[in-house]
Structure 1
Amino acid sequence: MPGGRAAIALAVGIAFLGGVAAGEAPEPSLSAVLKLDDVISVMHDEGLRYAKDLEDDMLDGQGGQFFHDEVDRIYDPDRMVVFVENALAEGLSDAQRRDAIAFFGTDLGQRILSLENAARVAMSDPAVEEIARAAHDDILDTGDRRLGAVTRFVEVNDLVDRNVASALGSNFRFFRGLADGRGARTSDREILADVWAQEAELRDDTESWLFAFLLMAYRPLSDTELDAYVTYSETDGGQALNAAIFAGFDAMYLSISEDLGRAAARAMAGSDI
């Protein structure tokens, strides 16, 4: 269930509960089954690291209290998770939601989610990321069965194109927020041209990172277990879930990116006074 790597709101904590007859146990929350709190926690920590790098690079490490407060607001986990919960509520039928709970509620489904989260945390260490990328490079063009299964998973879920589009959109919104915050007369067309110029490099990096991440995450799975995950991804419910998750994370990152750009611009303006 990988979402965007940048790599969201009606009410907090949508329950996703179906009808429950008297005496029956309630259907589990899809949010809980998908471990959304854990996923958002990982993305929250990634966001704080990114904001710190941004402060060092753009603000000479002098963002000040305003910037720090804005970062805390922008990366508020309760705010972040609502984008994804809303997308799941709007993008899945009752049957598709039940299918997702049925698959990810199993021991295998829970294990897959835990492996994905653990791998994403591990990849935040540059040394681990370098090793994972090298491991992927070593098996390119070798006919490796595991690489073939991961390639099928990536293609079924359109992960490269979706992640590239998400990253380009987030970059566009960041620079638009930066321009707005500075009062700059930069057109959307100019910003889009600058962002699109990065597409080829971004695509290469995204594909390399994605395969490195997935190969590391799914290494403990047997071939049969990984095949079962790919097979679920090919179903109507699996496709709907993937689309809904991307819609939620895209909305989340677009909002975060524009807010962050605007906050950086205002912090720069404050430091110039």
Structure 2
Amino acid sequence: MQQRAFRATVNASGRVIAMAFLALVLGLTLPARAADRDKLVAFLQVTGFDVALDSIALAAEDAPMMLGMRAKEFGYQWKSAAEEVFDSTLMRGMAVDILEKTLNDALLNHAAAFYATPLGLRLVEVENASHMAEDEPKRAEGERLLAEITETDPERLAQIKRMNDAIDGAGLAVRAVQEIQLRFLMAAGQAGVIGRTFDENELRELLSQDEDKMRESMQASAMANSAWTYRDFSTEEIETYAAALEDERMQQVYDLMNAIQWEIMANRFEALAVRMAGMTRGEEL
């Protein structure tokens, strides 16, 4: 009964929690006139945000590692649960629900206009492909490219860093990852997945201990990822992209989209923790 009640709480209050999280992180005020739903669905596609949301599912197998487990220990139960929890239609719907309340026409039109340009269309194409590419080959090649750029092309290196800084203009990525980890671990404890519960303050303090190391690792990973993703773009095109991202209106859009993606990931990881409580271990895929 406790697990069922917790599951209902997570699913029923997801959108309320999302709005509270967004307001807390970004200090958002709701726009006087938000964009309509059809335009928002098109906005997800033209910006590639739909594929970015779909890629959240790729992180599902990392969740059990936080508990000292492996996804394949749960066999086909895992595959079924992950497909349901990280259903793309569900996650896109959650994003549109939040955007309806937070994104106005002016910001939507500004971002959509850039991504509808020839450069914007190419950027979305490669970013979509990057989201779904295999991690290990991409990471290895990205690190090789980054080392080469660092050695031979300081201007390109500077523009890639400038672009990455603009993508997370508020500098909240590390805090967001910590919050996702905390919410998953708290949910796993409450759902009985592991043999203990956590004190939220103690867990938050524990997760913050490696914050500097995590920030450094995430920045290095982002640089390697960008070196790979934008490898076929000229330095001038990357500079143009960075300048577009630095525009105050685009910064507002990206702060919002980042927060939405993080909230949906945290929400879905909480739901996954609840599903894990009903699984049995030992059946390898």
Quote the offset at 1:56 in angstroms. Answer: 11
Match of 1:41 in 2: 54
Structure 1 residues 167 and 36, CA gap change in structure 2 (3 angstroms)? same
What stretches of structure 2 of length at least 5 have no aligned partner?
Answer: 1-13, 17-35
For the pair 1:242 / 2:254, whether they are aligned, the reply is yes
Cα distance in structure 2, aligned partners of 1:74 and 1:93: 29
Match of 2:209 in 1: 197
Per-residue deviation, residues 57-109 of structure 1 (Å, max 9, x unmatched): 51684325654443222111111112332343333221111111111112211
Letter of the 2:45 partner, please give it. A
Whether contact under 8 Å (2:156, 2:235) holds in the other structure is yes
For the pair 1:30 / 2:43, whether they are aligned, the reply is yes
Match of 1:148 in 2: 158
Letter of the 1:14 partner, please give it. R
Match of 2:95 in 1: 84
Match of 2:121 in 1: 110
**TM-score, structure 2 normalization:** 0.75
The more displaced of 160-169 and 106-115 is: 160-169
* Structure holding more helix per residue: 2
Whether contact under 8 Å (1:92, 1:240) holds in the other structure is no
Whether contact under 8 Å (1:84, 1:247) holds in the other structure is no
For the pair 1:121 / 2:144, whether they are aligned, the reply is no
Letter of the 2:227 partner, please give it. L
Quote the offset at 1:239 in angstroms. Answer: 0.8
Per-residue deviation, residues 123-159 of structure 1 (Å, max 9, x unmatched): x331331221233244447661111111112223336
What stretches of structure 1 of length at least 5 have no aligned partner?
Answer: 1-7, 18-27
Per-residue deviation, residues 16-54 of structure 1 (Å, max 9, x unmatched): 27xxxxxxxxxx92122123333333333x135436x75
Quote the offset at 1:121 in angstroms. Answer: 2.8
Cα distance in structure 1, aligned partners of 2:248 and 2:135: 36
Letter of the 1:77 partner, please give it. S
Residue of structure 2 aligned with 1:163, choices 157, 168, 173: 173
Q: Percent identity?
A: 20
Cα distance in structure 2, aligned partners of 1:55 and 1:195: 12
Structure 1 residues 56 and 235, CA gap change in structure 2 (3 angstroms)? closer
Instruction: Give the secondary structure class of the aligned counterpart of 2:129.
Output: helix
Letter of the 1:150 partner, please give it. I
Instruction: Give the secondary structure class of the aligned counterpart of 1:195.
Output: helix
Cα distance in structure 2, aligned partners of 1:55 and 1:125: 19
Quote the offset at 1:270 in angstroms. Answer: 11
Letter of the 2:190 partner, please give it. D
Whether contact under 8 Å (2:15, 2:98) holds in the other structure is no
Cα distance in structure 1, aligned partners of 2:93 and 2:71: 33
**TM-score, structure 1 normalization:** 0.78
Per-residue deviation, residues 186-244 of structure 1 (Å, max 9, x unmatched): 21112212222232332122111100111211221223322221121121221111011
The more displaced of 110-119 and 216-225 is: 216-225
Whether contact under 8 Å (1:160, 1:203) holds in the other structure is no
Structure 1 residues 213 and 185, CA gap change in structure 2 (3 angstroms)? closer
Q: What RMSD over aligned residues (CA atoms) do the two structures have, in Å?
A: 3.2
Whether contact under 8 Å (1:97, 1:237) holds in the other structure is no
Instruction: Give the secondary structure class of the aligned counterpart of 2:172.
Output: helix
Whether contact under 8 Å (1:40, 1:81) holds in the other structure is yes
Whether contact under 8 Å (1:178, 1:258) holds in the other structure is yes
Cα distance in structure 1, aligned partners of 2:79 and 2:65: 12
Whether contact under 8 Å (1:87, 1:247) holds in the other structure is no
Whether contact under 8 Å (2:15, 2:97) holds in the other structure is yes
Match of 1:255 in 2: 267
Structure 1 residues 209 and 267, CA gap change in structure 2 (3 angstroms)? same
Structure 1 residues 67 and 119, CA gap change in structure 2 (3 angstroms)? closer
Letter of the 1:199 partner, please give it. E
